[in-house]
Amino acid sequence: MTTKIKHAIGILILSEFLVFLGISLVIPVMPFLKNELHLTALDMGIMNSLFAFAQFVVSPIVGRTSDRIGRKPVLLVGLLLFMVSEYLFALTNHLWLFDISRIIGGISAAMVGPTAMAMAADITSKRDRAKVIGYLSAAFSGGLILGPGIGGMLANISYKTPFWVAGTLGLLSTLALLRFLPSEDDLITEVPKASAEPEVNLRGHLWSLLKGPALILFVLILISSFGLQGFESIYSLYVNEVFNFSLSNIALVLTLNGMISLVFQVVLFDRLVRWFSETRVIRYCFFFALAGTVWIILAHTKVEVIIATLFVFTAIDIVRPAITTLLTKITDKNQGLINGLNMSLTSIGNVIGPIMSGSLLDLNYHYPYLVVSGFLALSFGLTYFIRLGKQSLAN
């Protein structure tokens, strides 16, 4: 990679880190906000669903738009919308404005996440792509890991302080991107393969994707998202009610997982892909996630649960960038569309997965993870149907 491309990737990583740090700053404040403003659990659930639903609707539209007008303008608008969303949440005490803020936030996430991935795919060779997407995933994970702790400290000043800080991070990200990200034309000239393929019709390219090897990956994203979100969304409730985990126990597990996942994504992800290939990495991750989930169901001690949890969460954190990397290698055309569809299908799991697991948890503690095990087993089986030609994955 040239120095110019390395600088561009650094700006993308910084922007993604700041945005997801800002998003996670507000996590520890939400229960307090519910009590302070006398909101119901349904109110809070609708707020979270609106965020994911906006991502689902907007992601494929934004992806295609970034293919047409360029990545940088879409990233800039997305970061500005993130700033508006957080400042609006800080300024208001009205439920309908909270909902509007979450919708704007979902649109922002749909614009920033897949567009950053698409731009990284545009400006890197297939040989370097796994490493760069691993870095972007680590920026995403790092922001989510550090955010709750920082947000909890800021909430000691005021329960609105994390939202003000998140909005300010959005402003700083926008300014950094505007000032330091090189123009897209300059970057693409550094990577001849990105401009070597002719522009194709949207309908024709989408049809060729759905007929080709990408179809099984899109199906895999859709099915696995139910299982992955179903596991993550009720984890704290499950281990608290079934194994009497305290808040400190849960915090310890999540912190350990965050540290392990960062090591895998920054240091080991590229090596794992080179050693085993993306397809095998995806397959092994689903196997370990399935094994860990079954182990949790059968576990009798906290130590067993902690070890099994680390297997599951680490596998989840690796499988997502692995699928994304594989998708970007299928074709160099319309990366925005591909990453937008990826985000949109994942968002379906973000909306329905938590509702599914929450309703099952009310019936029986073990029902959610039994169903999650079924989704993960199906995902593991589907990995044997991934068929990609060597030419698609050539460096």
* Top-confidence residue, 3 or 247: 3
| Tokens standing for residue 395 | 């460096």
Question: What is d(CA 310, CA 283) in angstroms, rounded to the nearest whole number?
Answer: 17
Kindly report, residue by residue over 233-282, the tens digit of the pLDDT.
Answer: 777 778 877 888 876 677 677 777 777 877 887 778 778 888 888 889 98
* Top-confidence residue, 46 or 183: 46
Beta carbons of 314 and 272 less than 8 angstroms apart: no
Q: How confident is the model at residue 203 (pLDDT cuts 50, 70, 90)?
A: low
Kindly report, residue by residue over 6-15, the tens digit of the pLDDT.
Answer: 888 888 888 8
Q: Could you confirm whether domain 201-395 is CATH 1.20.1250.20?
A: yes
Handedness of CA 333, 336, 341, 342 (dihedral sign): positive
Lowest mean pLDDT of 99-113, 164-178, 203-217, 352-366, name the range: 203-217
DSSP annotation of 182? P
Answer whether 1-196 and 201-395 agree in fold: yes
Kindly report, residue by residue over 151-197, the tens digit of the pLDDT.
Answer: 767 777 887 888 898 888 888 888 888 888 876 666 655 554 444 44
The architecture CATH gives domain 1-196: Up-down Bundle (1.20)
* Top-confidence residue, 358 or 157: 157
In sequence order, the 6+-apart residues with CB closer than 8 A to the CB of 274 are 130
Q: How far is CA 61 from CA 56, 99, 100, 149, 166, in A?
A: 10, 22, 20, 34, 26
Q: Can you give the pTM of this predicted structure?
A: 0.68
Lowest mean pLDDT of 202-216, 237-251, 308-322, name the range: 202-216
Spans of all domains in the chain: 1-196, 201-395
Burial class (CB in 10 A: 0-12, 13-18, 19+), 95: middle
Residue with tokens 């899109």: 218
3-state secondary structure of 159: coil
Question: What is d(CA 195, CA 258) in angstroms, rounded to the nearest whole number?
Answer: 37
Rounded percentage of the chain residues whose pLDDT exceeds 90: 11
